[in-house]
Amino acid sequence: MATSRKTPSFTIPGLTEAEGEKLAGILQDRLNALSDLHLTLKHVHWNVVGPHFIAVHEMIDPHVDEVIAMTDETAERIATLGVSPKGTPGSIVAGRSWDDYSLGRATTNEHLGALDEVYVHLIESHRDAREAVADLDAVTEDMIIGQLKQLELFHWFVRAHLENAGGTLSTAGTDTEKGAASKASKGATED
């Protein structure tokens, strides 16, 4: 009979098992967030409608592939630290601290407005994770920094659809997906 070990019996050289387990816990939260993002992006890809449908539909898929690569990289880093990564749907849902994506079939502006909020929170939590690992392990920190670079770039792509020529976001002042979607549905604000 196979057993499931919760604590590592090894980790990477230069770290204690406790440090490896702490890093793995931080990364498990990132794995949950990235797995959720991958599924959310596919959901948007399937449910976006409106005049800019094809542009947004086709913009999302390459980033989905990047996010899938990030999840794989994160899970493999957890395993390298001597801990079993948890990637089942139940463990991801149980481990997340945010609500499920709230939009179904909606216009490109609505989905992009909601995604703006998704990315704000994801990037903030990724930055918090980078800070939490900075004093423990440079390799893990470097991995998170690389992921941040890709996430921030795609966030810029999303925001480019939501801003006017003066750089004002149509979602300015919102802090929920539905609020951002509603403001974005009215289009980019005037200068």
Looking at residue 188, what is its pLDDT?
45
Residue 179: inside a domain: yes
Residue 140: inside a domain: yes
d(Cα 109, Cα 56) in Å, to the nearest integer? Answer: 9
Give the structural domain span for 21.
17-185
- The amino acid occupying position 115 is L
Does the pLDDT of residue 191 top 70, yes or no? no
Domain count along the chain: 1
For 116-141, what is the mean pLDDT?
Answer: 97
d(Cα 126, Cα 152) in Å, to the nearest integer? Answer: 11
Residue 46: inside a domain: yes
Question: Could you give the 3-state DSSP secondary structure of residue 12?
Answer: coil
Looking at residue 36, what is its pLDDT?
96
Looking at residue 62, what is its pLDDT?
96
For 92-107, what is the mean pLDDT?
Answer: 91
For 124-151, what is the mean pLDDT?
Answer: 98
Residue 32: inside a domain: yes
Give counts: helices (H), strands (E), the chain. 6, 2
Express each pLDDT in 20-48 by its tens digit. 999 999 999 999 999 999 999 999 999 99
For tokens 């949950």, what's the residue? 32
Residue 69: inside a domain: yes
Residue 5: inside a domain: no
Residue 79: beta bridge partners? none
Residue 7: inside a domain: no
Does the pLDDT of residue 115 top 90, yes or no? yes
Prediction pTM value = 0.91
Rounded to 5°, the CA angle 163-191-110 comes to 35
What CATH number corresponds to the domain at position 162? 1.20.1260.10
Looking at residue 10, what is its pLDDT?
85
